Amino acid sequence: MAQGTLWIDVTDLTTWTGNLTGIQRTHFHLGQEFAKQPGVKFFAASYDKGIKEVGLPTAESFEEKGKKPGFREQSAFAKYAGKGTRFANRVIHKVLPGKLSRAFDRFAAGINGTVSDFVFGISEKREKKVLHPFTSEDTVLILGATWGTPDFPELLCSLKREVGFKLIFTVYDLIPVYAPHFFGPGFGGHYSRYLMNTISASDALLSISQHTTKDLKHFMNELLIPVVPIINFRLGDNPLEVVGEHGPSADIEEGNFVLAVGTVEVRKNHQALYLAWELAAKEGIELPPLVIVGKPGWNVSDLLYDISANPLVNKKIKIVSGIDDATLGWLYNNCLMTVYPSWYEGWGLPVAESLHFGKVCISSSASSMPEIGGDLVDYCSPYEPRAFMNKIYEYALNPELLKKAEKRIDAKYRSVTWEESFQEIWNGLEKLS
């Protein structure tokens, strides 16, 4: 690394509570590796105290409540409107299935889009002198999800122009740009503006997959943004260190269920699984029960209603959420196989987790998923529920075939550690020096 301090933003983590998931999990594990290096410091931002040096939050600290708000929570309007729609969403899905629930989905999406436009619109006009510790010799690395934090990305870009430090953002995916229909109204446009501003101010970008790198290059070429260096790195596999002694409920039979892990949202394509199990029932094919682990997300009220009301599947599909890592480990360890039909991912962690546990994964062939396990994974088009049904039935009907595939995974798949993931980034940063 060059002279100066490598500053890593942990604003995301200082306001996070509960189990780490997705980007925050990546942020934390990479932060632990960076903390072992000399010349690395961490910072967090808040409206009342500016940007100041902090320690890397500990795993225990995420359980604490009442953390002081950073930039993410500054707008009370956005904060409470978001909480209100999420709470109402859960209630409405339970008590008003059907047309009224669908109407609320559209209303909630509109409110969230309006809040986003309001917050980011006024943020562009806000001017405030912010104290910070950066010098022209430093490098500032952003690992978190700053696109949802009013003012913060713009502030960093402005400080870079003023002070002259190197600025590096991490890009996890470009899904809101190329598949905006998976998000609420207005978010795709906001995210595109965020990318244009941050890429233009960056000295380099981190990318979590070859597919994201390809999307990034296409985006820069499409909008005539000067191309900046991209450091591609593979995410760690997040091996679950503790496997629980029992599952989330007594009706999940050990060794006799298919597991699907991921938030229940349109992008994850649980609709394909619903149709696969429905097709099987109509054609007299006996598939194992399906256990979906994930909280309900945006615009899935129709699907949740169909699963609960359709007598062909409502005894075969179970949705659980809010479980800890030990229980999730039990589910991976005791499932027959896993399935992941997502339309679009920046990476696709459940595929890697499945392989880490030596389990066959039947995955979507879209976006980044084939990068994870190569030919150790079975692939189906996300457009073809019947293909998922056939492959699941093939393995369920032939235990020896399943065991053969599991042995192949055990022999050939090697989990990637967070230390290795960090080293790819570190090597890339050194080349920039």
Which has more confidence, 18 or 281?
281
Percent of the chain with pLDDT over 70: 83
Q: Which residue has the higher pLDDT, 117 or 232?
A: 232
Task: Look up residue 72 and give its two tokens.
Answer: 């993410």
Please report where in the chains the tokens 């060059």 appear, as a residue.
2
Q: Indicate if 224 and 268 belong to the same structural domain.
A: no
Cα 386–Cα 181–Cα 308 angle in degrees, nearest 5: 50
Which pLDDT score is estimated for 1? 59
- Domain containing 349 equals 258-412
Is the pLDDT at 320 greater than 80? The verdict is yes
Q: Are residues 27 and 156 in the same domain?
A: yes
Asked whether residue 382 falls in the same domain as residue 428, the answer is: no
pLDDT of res. 64 = 60
Q: Are 286 and 194 part of one and the same domain? A: no
Residue 221 and residue 281 share a domain? no
99 assigned to some structural domain: yes
Are 326 and 352 members of one domain? yes
Mean pLDDT, all residues of the chain: 86
Residues 6+ apart with CB under 8 A from 224: none
Query: What is the predicted pLDDT for the residue at 245?
Result: 86
Is 177 among the domain residues? yes
pLDDT band at 19 (very low <50, low <70, confident <90, very high): confident
Task: Name the least confident of 69-78, 223-232, 282-291, 415-424.
Answer: 69-78
% of the chain at pLDDT higher than 90: 69
- Please tell me the predicted confidence (pLDDT) of residue 378: 98
| pLDDT for the residue 16 | 80
Number of domains in the chain: 2
Q: Are residues 219 and 181 in the same domain?
A: yes
Nearest to 25 by CA among 40, 13, 7, 11: 13
Q: Is residue 34 part of a domain?
A: yes
Q: Are residues 50 and 187 in the same domain?
A: yes
In a domain, 251, yes or no: no
Which range has the worst mean pLDDT, 3-17, 101-115, 149-163? 101-115
For residue 128, what pLDDT is reported?
57
**60: pLDDT strictly greater than 80:** no
Q: Is residue 85 assigned to a domain?
A: yes
Q: Does residue 65 lie in a domain region?
A: yes
374-389: average pLDDT: 98
- Of 268-272, 324-328, 408-412, which gets the smallest average pLDDT? 324-328
Assigned domain for 1 exists:
no
Nearest to 260 by CA among 274, 249, 246: 274
Give the mean pLDDT of 200-215: 97
Do 408 and 426 fall into the same domain? no
Query: Which of the two residues, 257 and 21, has the higher pLDDT score?
Result: 257
Q: Is the pLDDT of residue 85 over 70?
A: no
CA neighbor of 135 nearest in space, from 7, 45, 37: 7
Please report whether residue 71 resides in a domain.
Answer: yes
The answer to whether residues 359 and 311 touch, using CB atoms and an 8 Å cutoff, is no
Q: Which pLDDT tens digit goes with each residue over 231-277?
A: 999 999 866 767 888 889 889 999 999 999 999 999 999 999 999 99
Contact 251, 432 (CB under 8 A): no
Which tops the pLDDT comparison, 178 or 48? 178
The CATH code of the domain that includes 11 is 3.40.50
Do the strands 40-46 and 50-54 form a parallel or antiparallel pair, or are they unpaired? antiparallel
Question: Is 90 exceeded by the pLDDT of residue 105?
Answer: no
Task: Give the pLDDT band (50/70/90) at residue 124.
Answer: very low
Same domain, 325 and 407: yes
Neighbour tally for 82: CB within 10 Å: 18
At residue 63, the pLDDT reads 61
Q: Are residues 224 and 286 in the same domain?
A: no
Q: In the predicted model, what is the mean pLDDT of residues 297-308?
A: 94
What value does the mean pLDDT take over residues 20-36?
91
Q: Got the DSSP string for 253-298?
A: -TT--EEEES-BSGGGTHHHHHHHHHHHHHTT--PPPEEEES-B-T
Which CATH number characterizes residue 288's domain? 3.40.50.2000
Enter the pTM of the model: 0.83
Instruction: Indicate whether 10 pLDDT > 60.
Output: yes
Does residue 114 have a pLDDT over 50?
no
30 Ramachandran zone, left/alpha/beta (phi>0; psi -120 to 50): alpha
Q: Are residues 387 and 283 part of one domain?
A: yes
Residues 213-238: tens digit of each pLDDT: 999 999 999 999 999 999 999 999 86
